Structures are given as structure tokens and as C-alpha cells.
RNA sequence: GGUCCCAUCGUCUAAUGGUUAGGACAUCAGGUUUUCAUCCUGAAAAUAGGGGUUCGAUUCCCCUUGGGAUCACCA
């Protein structure tokens, strides 16, 4: 019988989450959900210096906003609580003692400065730095590590792992068969002088204690795996299934995507009106595909189809344009009522989940739409749905439906057809338009019929007449179809704008 | 420099010995009575290089080149 699937996402609370972290979390979550297992959030806050206030909340907000719900976590205690490493110091102490008892750990005889010198020496010799080359066997047997210094933050001496260097061959669910020689196994620090464990030690202990079945993480840890394998053996722990994710590269493709490269907070995408499901689909296909020609996946499909075997080994670049396309795709698929609620901030971006503070009640409508009725806004939204790539575009797409835009003659002067006409001719055409639409009931169908008649009567091409009317009634660089737009604007606004435009042409 | 990983259109990728090397994003050109977008049609666009193995290599092996990760009391 196979072990129950329990996966974890274990970030350190040092800031926000970007697509890289989210992808790791997503894949771990998918694995748990498809197997009916559990997904655990664990905070690796063992470096007090780097901890950022509010980061923990930010992380859980981000996961929740995307629908990556966790079964156990700092704010959702389960059988293996606590889920914050800073609250698990006793557990690491217990395991450290085991290593001391079995002679597999020792008190670090050197201070920081000395180690730094060793490192420089190794670098000068163009060799990889191996700590164990600088300690004697006698030093490595010094198990008189003072546990009293533990967690006091004062006068502590680091505890080192006494490694047993050997060659390893192991299987990685993504990378396949891996192998390394003994030269990469080293005596790393288990417990720092401040009494906190290192990641290298804490995660091994926690994954075992928490019964984690699959460890999914970025390739920055790949080189350390032999050390971990050595530690598993010393601890007599069964090792979990390992899966190494390829890096997500920046847009230039020359290094791993990072905050420095402008990798955005995933919540910023939500604030700009990207849909959680579009983000999920996009991020999942950054380094994974199901082998078919399907390009867009619902989260449900991902749970069904995701497979570590099909994760790429090489890095993939983050391509903003593809995300934009995916988001537009999801927006077009959406029911108008649902889209309206999201765009109007009537519900959080993630259905059925608690909204995060930052996005609660966020409306994307332009301020000018405040007084407009829901029915009116819905009609407007229906017209721009297929051209909106993300919600933050809504104001520029719809502002003219709610307020009169200033007359901008450059729209006519720069128009390739209209610029050839005298303003008096254009003015005349607008007046004929008024006459033609006077009897319309302002339904889109009837408007279209009247406009067709006008085209016939004036003998002008659509590119001339319809362009002119479109500009004169919106003064926007772009707008939806003319008949639909006028139908939504209504007779009153349409005529008011036509008159304004006639006057403007007279005065120009 | 040591160690490990990777290498198909600009980008994300399919094809795990036999295909005119497929799809999508982006780009360009046409079409859908105006604009922007959608949608449709079409175009251009790739197996890094060199050796093997094989009747036959994108695919297997080796070398070169290129790229990435790592070599912390950070994770």
C-alpha cells in the first residue's frame, strides 16, 4: 500500500510570493488534491534577521486568493502543529541530541572569521569549499556541544553535522536518475549559534515529523540533496519522494526570476484584475503540459491531469504576453453576471473563499461610473467583455459611457479618411445623422438599420461615415461597435454629443 | 574552478528511432460594413556544432559550445 500523499509548501516569511513560489506551491497542492491527501503550509522562519513583518499573513492571503487552500498551517493547526519552525525548537533539539549521541554531530571549533578564511583559501585554489577539509578528526569527534547555549541567542556555538561522505544515486521525480560523488557531501551547520536550526536541518526533521510524502522544491536545493541523503541516513529516516522544479527565468532568460528582476507580488496581479484561474493555468503551463495540444486548463482539469513526469527539466521564461492572453481568454469565457460581480467588487476574486483585505470590495469601474445604474453598467460591460485583457483596463475602455470626453480634433485630423474632408462637410454629415436617428427607437437593431439607410443616402463608405459618428459620439480612440454603443448611450446622450461635436466643428 | 542539471520556431512546448518536425503566444498579411478587440484564413519562424551507433536519428552515446543552479551560522 502506498503512503498517504502529504505535500507541503514551506516558504520563509521574508516577503511576498511571486510566480516562482506560487508554482512550487501549486504543484504541491495539485499533487495532494489529486490523491485526496493533505497540503501543508509550514513557515520556515529560522532566520530572525530576514523575517519581514506581515509576510506570513501575506503568504497565506496569496495562497487563499488563488484557491490553494491548505489543510494544515500556522493558522490552521493539525496533528503536527506547530507549523512555524521558530515554535519547534524543542523538536530540533531532540533530534540534534540523537545525532550527538550517535557521534554524528559536533561542536563547531571555528568562528565565522576563520571559516571565511578557509572559504577564501578554497576559492584561491579554485576548489569547491568543503568545511570538512579544515577540521581534524579529533575536532569532528567533539560532542561536548553545550545545549545550554541553545536558543539563548548568546554565546552559542554552532552544531555541525559529521558527514559520512559517499557517492549517491537517487531518483528525482522530475530530473530522473541523479548521481554524485562523495566530494559534494560536507559537514554543514545543523544549529546556528543563535540556537535556531538551519534550513538544511529543520526541513529534514519537519518533513519526517509531519509525514510529508513528497518534497517539491526549486532547483537551488538540488546541489544539497546528497547532504540531505547523508543526514537521512544518520537520522535513520526514510526519505520522502523528491521532486525538483526547474527555475522560472526572467523575461530576458538569463537568470532565475527574482524580485530584483521585477517579479511581481502575485497579489498585485489580482489587484490589477487578473483572474486566479487564469494565473493558475498560466503558471501551471510554465514548465508543465499534458502532452496534448491543450493550452488552457481549468484548475479542476489540472487536478485531474497534473503529473510530475511531465514537468520540464529546463527553465522556462516568464512571458507576460502569454499571461495576458490567458487572462483575456478566461474573461471572455465568463458569464456576464459573474464578471460584473468581480469587476464591481461585489465579491472576492476567489469564489467561495475569504477575500484578502487588500482586494475586498475593489471596484474597477472608473470614478465617473459611480452614479450609473447596475443595469447600465452591465450593458457596458457586455460590450467590452471581449476586449478587456485585465480588469484595470476597464476605465479606459468604458469612461466615455459615463462622462463626456473632451472633444479631441486630432482624432479626426489623424484619421486616414476623415482628414481629407472639410470640417463643414463633416458638420453637415453629423446633422444628417441627427435627422436620420431622430425617429429611431435606439435599439441596436434599429440603429443599425437607420445607419445603413444613411450610408446609402449619403453615398459614403462606412470607413468615413461610421468613423465620423463613432468619434463624434465618443471622442475615444476606440470603442465597441457603433450601433451597440449608441444603443447603450441612449438617445439623449447621443444627441447631446452630436450637437457638441457639430459646434466644435463649426469653431475649428 | 569543482559538482549537478539543461539545450526543438523570438517565447511556452509536442513528437522518447521512421512526421512535409505539430500546437499555442507574439509578429506580419487578408477577411468579418468604422476604430480597438474578438473571431476566421493565411504567412514567416526551430531540432546549437561536430563525431559516432543504426537501413534510418530531434530522439541513443561521446566531445565541443552555450545556458542555469550550487559551493553560507540564507532559505
Check if the beta carbon of residue A249 is closer than 8 Å to that of residue A262: no
pLDDT of the residue at A2? 61
Nearest nt to the A295 alpha carbon by C1': B24
Sign of the CA dihedral running A7, A10, A11, A16: positive
Q: How far apart are CA A104 and CA A106, in angstroms?
A: 7
pLDDT of the residue at A184? 96
Check if the beta carbon of residue A286 is closer than 8 Å to that of residue A23: yes
- Residue with CA nearest to B2's C1' atom: A128
- In the set A259, A300, A313, A461, the catalytic residue is A259
Phi-psi region of A422 (alpha: psi -120 to 50; beta: other; left: phi over 0): beta
pLDDT of the residue at A300? 97
Among all chains, which residue has been given the C-alpha cell 479618411? A417
pLDDT of the residue at A254? 87
**Calculated CA dihedral for residues A386, A388, A390, A393, nearest 10 degrees:** -170
Nearest nt to the A417 alpha carbon by C1': B34
Q: How far apart are CA A34 and CA A307, in angstroms?
A: 10
**Helix/strand/coil for A480:** coil
Q: What is the pLDDT of residues A182-205, one digit of tens each?
A: 999 999 999 999 999 999 999 999
Nearest to A201 by CA among A307, A120, A99, A71: A99
Nucleotides of B under 7 A from a protein CB: 1-8, 10-15, 22-26, 33-39, 67-75
Q: What is the pLDDT of residues A70-123, one digit of tens each?
A: 999 999 999 999 999 999 999 999 999 999 999 999 999 999 999 999 999 999
In DSSP notation, A109-139 reads: ---HHHHHHHHHHHHHTT----GGGGS-HHH
Q: How far apart are CA A400 and CA A443, in angstroms?
A: 19
> Residues in chain A with pLDDT < 70?
1-2, 147-155, 348-360
**Calculated CA dihedral for residues A383, A388, A391, A395, nearest 10 degrees:** -60
Residues 6+ apart with CB under 8 A from A114: none
Polymer length of chain A:
508
Write down the pTM of the prediction.
0.94
ipTM of predicted assembly, 2 dp: 0.95
Amino acid at each position: 500500500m502506498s503512503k498517504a500523499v502529504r505535500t507541503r509548501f514551506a516558504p520563509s516569511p521574508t516577503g511576498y510570493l511571486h510566480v516562482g513560489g506560487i508554482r512550487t506551491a501549486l504543484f504541491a497542492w495539485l499533487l495532494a488534491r489529486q490523491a485526496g491527501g493533505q497540503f501543508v503550509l509550514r513557515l520556515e522562519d529560522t532566520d530572525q534577521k530576514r523575517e519581514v513583518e506581515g509576510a506570513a499573513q501575506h503568504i497565506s492571503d496569496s495562497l487563499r486568493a488563488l484557491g490553494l487552500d491548505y489543510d494544515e498551517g500556522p493558522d490552521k493547526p493539525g496533528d503536527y502543529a506547530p507549523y512555524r519552525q521558530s515554535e519547534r525548537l524543542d523538536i530540533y533539539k531532540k533530534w540534534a541530541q540523537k545525532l550527538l549521541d550517535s557521534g554524528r554531530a559536533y561542536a563547531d571549533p571555528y568562528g565565522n572569521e576563520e571559516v571565511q578564511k578557509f572559504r577564501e583559501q578554497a576559492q584561491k585554489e579554485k576548489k569547491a569549499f568543503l568545511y570538512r577539509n579544515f577540521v581534524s578528526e579529533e575536532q569532528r569527534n567533539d560532542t561536548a556541544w553545550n545545549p545550554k547555549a541553545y536558543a539563548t541567542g548568546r554565546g552559542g556555538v554552532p552544531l555541525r553535522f559529521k558527514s559520512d561522505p559517499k557517492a549517491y544515486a537517487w531518483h528525482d521525480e522530475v530530473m530522473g536518475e541523479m548521481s554524485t560523488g562523495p566530494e559534494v557531501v560536507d559537514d554543514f551547520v545543523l544549529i546556528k549559534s543563535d540556537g535556531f536550526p538551519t534550513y538544511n536541518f529543520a526541513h529534514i526533521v519537519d518533513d519526517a515529523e509531519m509525514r510529508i510524502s513528497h518534497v517539491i522544491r526549486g532547483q537551488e536545493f538540488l546541489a544539497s540533496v546528497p547532504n540531505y541523503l547523508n543526514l537521512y541516513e544518520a537520522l535513520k529516516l526514510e526519505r520522502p519522494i523528491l521532486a525538483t522544479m526547474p527555475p522560472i527565468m526572467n523575461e530576458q532568460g538569463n537568470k532565475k526570476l527574482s524580485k530584483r528582476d521585477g517579479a511581481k507580488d502575485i497579489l498585485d496581479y489580482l489587484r490589477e484584475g487578473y483572474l486566479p484561474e487564469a494565473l493558475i493555468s498560466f503558471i501551471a503551463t510554465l514548465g508543465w503540459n499534458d502532452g496534448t495540444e491543450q493550452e488552457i486548463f481549468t484548475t479542476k482539469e489540472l487536478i485531474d491531469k497534473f503529473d510530475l513526469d511531465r514537468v520540464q527539466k529546463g527553465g522556462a521564461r516568464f512571458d507576460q504576453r502569454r499571461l495576458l492572453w490567458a487572462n483575456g481568454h478566461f474573461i471572455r469565457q465568463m458569464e456576464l453576471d459573474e464578471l460584473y460581480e468581480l469587476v464591481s467588487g461585489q465579491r472576492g476574486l476567489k469564489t467561495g473563499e475569504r477575500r484578502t483585505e487588500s482586494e475586498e470590495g475593489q471596484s474597477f469601474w472608473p470614478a465617473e461610473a459611480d452614479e450609473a445604474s447596475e443595469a447600465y453598467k452591465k450593458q457596458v460591460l457586455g460590450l467590452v467583455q471581449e476586449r478587456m485583457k485585465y480588469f484595470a483596463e476597464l476605465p479606459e475602455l468604458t469612461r466615455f459611457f459615463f462622462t463626456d470626453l473632451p472633444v479631441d480634433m486630432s482624432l479626426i485630423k489623424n484619421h486616414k479618411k476623415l482628414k481629407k474632408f472639410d470640417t463643414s462637410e463633416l458638420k453637415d454629415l453629423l446633422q444628417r445623422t441627427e435627422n436620420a436617428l431622430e425617429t429611431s427607437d435606439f435599439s441596436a437593431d434599429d440603429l443599425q438599420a437607420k445607419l445603413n439607410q444613411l450610408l446609402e443616402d449619403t453615398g459614403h463608405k462606412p470607413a468615413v461615415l461610421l468613423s465620423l459618428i463613432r468619434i463624434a459620439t465618443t471622442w475615444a480612440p476606440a470603442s465597441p461597435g457603433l450601433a451597440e454603443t449608441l444603443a447603450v448611450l441612449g438617445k439623449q446622450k447621443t444627441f447631446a454629443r452630436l450637437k457638441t461635436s457639430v459646434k466644435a466643428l463649426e469653431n475649428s
